Chain A
Amino acid sequence: MGAAFCTGCGRPPAACGGCARPSDPWRYCPDCGRWLAVQVTPTGWVGRCRGCGAEHHGSHQPPAGGAPVTG
């Protein structure tokens, strides 16, 4: 996805081989690596960055082999 930071652990790509799981919403901001305040609902999730203020959102697990639905 070309993110500057891993959404699973908040580390730079060079320090993380990709620990984010399809069954998890993003937990760290891909732009600044800070923690996201994440609210999950039955139909989606929204994460607000405590660092840069960016808002990210998504819906569900992708179908097998599909790309995550996030933004």
Chain B
Amino acid sequence: MSGVATDRHGDDPISAARRALVDERRQLTLDELAALAALPDEDVPALAEAAHAVRVAWCGDTVEIEGILSAKTGGCPEDCHFCSQSSRFETPVKALPLLSDDEVLRAARETAELGASEFCIVYAVRGPDERLMAHLERLVPLVRREVGINVAVSAGILTEDQAARLRGVGVHRYNHNLETARSFFGRVVTTHTWEERFETCRLVREHGMELCCGVLLGMGETDEQRIELLGQLREVDPAEVPVNFLDPRPGTPLADRPLVAAMEAIRWIALFRLALPGVILRYAGGREVTLGDLQEMGMTAGINALITGNYLTTLGRSPQEDIVMLKGLKMPIGTLSKVI
């Protein structure tokens, strides 16, 4: 631990954070989190160790596995600058038609065979139209009945009626990412607002679905904006937070951004756990290219869930590599819910 100030107990900032969260079950303030974010790189291993202790104390050692499927790829009218599926950018990802029920069922079965308890069906749309709603109202009960796996959906901005209907057909979790801080959002998306995303997150919870609300780090946001985002995530109160790292996509406005450095990624995984001690904190896109051989370290820095196999348009590592990693860490695979 570097030579930094101590608190009234004589603890350094990392020990103080650990005591607050593990012994006192007190949430850290955003100022406390900002102080941890400013620690030197040499303190990152200790920060990760504290985050792991918090994860085990709040959530146990179980890891939840999920598979995701793009059931409608490309052709999206929105301009999210990180996304290769936007029709506004010249990328190699072209629009494909909606997958058939059989194609989705096949992918769901394959996902279940990997040991996953959650299967998320994703659509590259601004929000569902009536045709997509009818598709979901047929498909979600079918997948649940035929495969026996929890079904999550990601289909963009919802109306109140749509949120109620999705809950009514058994959607377990709805994914809608804030992606980044409110103060930075307008730099990376101009076709809808951060507030629209926030409102959909609110509707998801109001109608009784679990909220999965992810982030994407490495788009050029500052550390202060990442702390701001942590405060905003607390406001939407998600059950799950997938942590994505930017994997710059050819043809998008963010194509030339550098990758997040591996130890910076570990630092922010730890900070997300310390800020959101009870959430399901999931490894998501970009972990392979960002962390490489440090993926195991992330599992002992606060992560307690992962997307296994491939992503929507890019490839992940083999699910067998994840299974070997979890066995080596002696972390059992199971289902999780948010700890209140």
A residues adjacent to B (C-beta < 8 A): 8-9, 19, 22-25, 27-28, 35, 37-45, 58-61, 63-64
In this complex, how many residues of chain B approach chain A with their Cβ under 8 Å: the count is 36
Residues of B near A27 (CB, < 8 A) are 92-93
| Chain B residues numbered 305-325 whose CB sits less than 8 Å from any CB in chain A | 308-319, 321
For the complex, is B16 an interface residue (Cβ under 8 Å from A)? no
Residues of A near B116 (CB, < 8 A) are 42
Return the 5 tightest CB-CB contacts between A and B, nearest first.
A42-B309, A42-B67, A27-B92, A60-B318, A41-B107
The residue on B at minimum CB distance from A37 is: B96
Residues of A near B247 (CB, < 8 A) are 23
Asked if residues A42 and B292 are in contact (CB atoms below 8 Å), the reply is no
Residues of A near B321 (CB, < 8 A) are 63
Residues of A near B308 (CB, < 8 A) are 42
The residue on B at minimum CB distance from A27 is: B92
Q: In whole Å, how far is A9's beta carbon from the nearest beta carbon of chain B?
A: 8
Residues of B near A9 (CB, < 8 A) are 92
Interface 9-mer from B68-76, B167-175, B190-198, B219-227: B68-76
Q: How many angstroms from the CA of A22 to the CA of B92 in the assembled complex? A: 15
Q: How many angstroms from the CA of A63 to the CA of B316 in the assembled complex? A: 10
A37-B94, A41-B107, A61-B316 in contact; A23/B289 too (CB < 8 A)? yes
Q: Which residue, A23, A25, A28, A37, has most C-beta atoms of chain B within 10 A?
A: A23
Q: In whole Å, how far is B160's beta carbon from the nearest beta carbon of chain A?
A: 32
Residues of A near B317 (CB, < 8 A) are 60-61, 63
A22-B315, A24-B315, A40-B311 in contact; A64/B73 too (CB < 8 A)? no
The residue on A at minimum CB distance from B320 is: A60
The one of B96, B289, B309 that contacts A43, using a Cβ cutoff of 8 Å:
B309
Asked if residues A42 and B111 are in contact (CB atoms below 8 Å), the reply is yes
Q: In whole Å, how far is B123's beta carbon from the nearest beta carbon of chain A?
A: 14
Given contacts A25-B315, A42-B309, A44-B310, 13 further A-B contacts (CB under 8 A): A19-B250, A22-B315, A24-B314, A28-B92, A38-B93, A42-B69, A42-B107, A42-B114, A42-B310, A59-B318, A60-B317, A61-B288, A63-B321
Q: How many angstroms from the CA of A43 to the CA of B114 in the assembled complex? A: 9
Q: How many angstroms from the CA of A12 to the CA of B116 in the assembled complex? A: 41
Q: How many angstroms from the CA of A64 to the CA of B316 in the assembled complex? A: 12
Residues of A near B309 (CB, < 8 A) are 41-43, 60
Asked if residues B315 and A43 are in contact (CB atoms below 8 Å), the reply is no
A23-B288, A61-B316 in contact; A41/B310 too (CB < 8 A)? yes
For the complex, is B110 an interface residue (Cβ under 8 Å from A)? yes
28 contacts between A and B (CB under 8 A): A23-B247, A23-B288, A23-B289, A25-B315, A27-B92, A35-B94, A38-B96, A39-B70, A39-B103, A41-B69, A42-B67, A42-B69, A42-B107, A42-B111, A42-B114, A42-B116, A42-B309, A42-B310, A42-B319, A43-B110, A43-B319, A59-B315, A60-B315, A61-B315, A61-B316, A63-B318, A64-B292, A64-B293
Residues of B near A35 (CB, < 8 A) are 92, 94
For the complex, is B132 an interface residue (Cβ under 8 Å from A)? no
Asked if residues A40 and B313 are in contact (CB atoms below 8 Å), the reply is yes
For the complex, is B30 an interface residue (Cβ under 8 Å from A)? no
The one of B93, B314, B319 that contacts A23, using a Cβ cutoff of 8 Å:
B314
The residue on A at minimum CB distance from B106 is: A41
Q: In whole Å, how far is A24's beta carbon from the nearest beta carbon of chain B?
A: 6
A22-B315, A24-B314, A45-B310 in contact; A39/B292 too (CB < 8 A)? no
Asked if residues A39 and B96 are in contact (CB atoms below 8 Å), the reply is yes
Residues of B near A19 (CB, < 8 A) are 250
Q: How many angstroms from the CA of A28 to the CA of B110 in the assembled complex? A: 26
